[in-house]
Amino acid sequence: MSQSNALANGIACRCPRCGKGNLFSGYLKLTPACPVCGLDFAFADSGDGPAVFVIFLVAPVIVILALVVGSLVAIPPWMHLVLWIPVTIVLSIALLPPFKGVLVSLQYRHDAHEGHQ
């Protein structure tokens, strides 16, 4: 599997091996195994990685947008809260599954396992 396929399968939340089966049975809950090719997802442990990457992406975007809007339109501070808190929540919720899918796909691609001594 090429690196681009790993990323594409992860973003699409598909099985990292076959690219057809669903990766999740719920919002962020991995299925036990791929329903198409049978790949066991026991190896997958993305931990807090997806949340960290989403924070690193969403936070600068929101700050830049808030600065641009604030420089173009004079709005009171409470209006910034009304605008940017929902946008932050929606972006974070929308981006978590694809980021987790990419991390699981890259774990499979690179045969990553927990460290053993």
What pairs with residue 33 in β-bridges? 40
CB-CB contact of 62 with 87 (8 Å): yes
Q: What's the pLDDT at 8? A: 92
Q: Is residue 29 part of a domain?
A: yes
Q: Is residue 115 part of a domain?
A: no
Q: Is residue 36 part of a domain?
A: yes
For residue 97, what are the domain limits? 3-109
Q: Work out how many domains the chain is built from and give that number.
A: 1
Q: Is residue 117 part of a domain?
A: no
- How far apart are the C-alpha atoms of 89 and 108, rounded to whole Å? 29
Q: Is residue 22 part of a domain?
A: yes
Write the pLDDT tens digit of every residue in 6-60.
889 999 999 999 989 999 999 999 999 999 999 999 888 888 999 999 999 999 9
Q: What's the pLDDT at 87? A: 97
Q: Is residue 116 part of a domain?
A: no
Q: Is residue 31 part of a domain?
A: yes
